[in-house]
């Protein structure tokens, strides 16, 4: 199966009870409210000031914006990350996943956009050598989609399976909302329909490609025709 090149960001472990647990929750809820109302990612200091909590206390729970946004997304998408299906059909598992989770993407769209924004901002800072906090690393969709397409694995060549896995990761998440709403002006429901249509098209393409004989598949490669012509010439 396809593998990520980096380790995913893990959310801070919340205190179990008492004042510490309440303070952690207050800071997290405040950060989520700021994102929902204004769309920007608050600094830990801003979340602390809005919550009337000292900076020192806030930084003990959330040492960076990366830690804060990781906790925000974990709180928003926790149920999505634990979804599992015993459906024997890979296509139906993908359908179930999209139908069950896209409404949650809609509910927490502001938080998901903020996470994507932070990831892009940190990518630029890291390239410039200016990043001063640990980077926020996304990618939980990889494991989620791996479970969804698992029944399709016996029907697909390994390379095609990995390509399908990666392709589905492009249409599952906040990215379809950013493109289809911001550029095309589509309503949420049509975003969901279009994303599912793309997922079906990708599954169909993967199955078609894997059904073709290996020789025909090689002949379609850019160098396949040249190799065949050279062999014929030598013959």
Q: What are the Cα distances from residue 80, in Å, to 90, 93, 127, 162?
A: 18, 14, 32, 22
pLDDT above 90 as % of the chain? 80
The structure tokens listed for 137 are 């690393």
Distance CA 50, CA 34 (A): 9
DSSP string, 84-138: ----S-HHHHHHHHHHHHHHHHHHTHHHHHHHHHHHHHHHHHHHTT---SPPP--
Mean pLDDT across 211-230: 56
Q: Which range, of 37-41, 65-69, 182-186, 193-197, averages the lowest pLDDT?
A: 37-41
- pLDDT value of residue 76: 93
Domain assignments of the chain as residue spans, ordered by start: 18-212
Say what the pTM is.
Answer: 0.85
The pLDDT tens digits for 73-99 are: 999 998 888 888 999 999 999 999 999
Is 18-212 CATH 1.10.357.10? yes
Distance (Å, rounded) from C-alpha 35 to C-alpha 107? 13
Per-residue confidence (pLDDT) for residue 98, from 0 to 100: 97
CA distance 25 to 18: 11
């Amino acid at each position: 199966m396809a593998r990520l090149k980096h380790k995913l960001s893990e959310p801070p472990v919340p205190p179990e009870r008492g004042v510490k647990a309440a303070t952690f929750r207050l800071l997290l809820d405040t950060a989520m409210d700021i994102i929902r109302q204004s769309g920007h990612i608050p600094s830990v200091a801003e979340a602390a000031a809005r919550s009337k909590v000292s900076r020192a206390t806030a930084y003990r729970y959330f040492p960076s914006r990366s830690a804060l946004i990781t906790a925000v997304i974990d709180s928003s998408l926790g149920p999505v990350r634990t979804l599992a299906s015993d459906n024997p059909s890979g296509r139906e598992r993908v359908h179930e996943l999209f139908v069950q989770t896209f409404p949650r993407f809609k509910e927490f769209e502001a938080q998901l956009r903020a996470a994507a924004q932070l990831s892009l901002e940190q990518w630029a800072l890291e390239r410039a050598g200016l990043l001063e906090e640990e980077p926020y690393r996304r990618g939980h969709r990889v494991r989620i989609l791996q479970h969804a397409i698992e029944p399709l694995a016996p029907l697909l060549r390994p390379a095609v399976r990995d390509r399908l896995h990666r392709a589905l990761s492009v249409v599952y998440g906040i990215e379809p909302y950013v493109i289809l709403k911001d550029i095309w002006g589509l309503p949420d429901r049509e975003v969901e329909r279009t994303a599912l249509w793309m997922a079906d098209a990708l599954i169909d393409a993967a199955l078609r490609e894997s059904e073709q004989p290996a020789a025909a598949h090689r002949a379609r490669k850019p160098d396949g025709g040249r190799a065949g012509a050279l062999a014929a010439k030598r013959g």
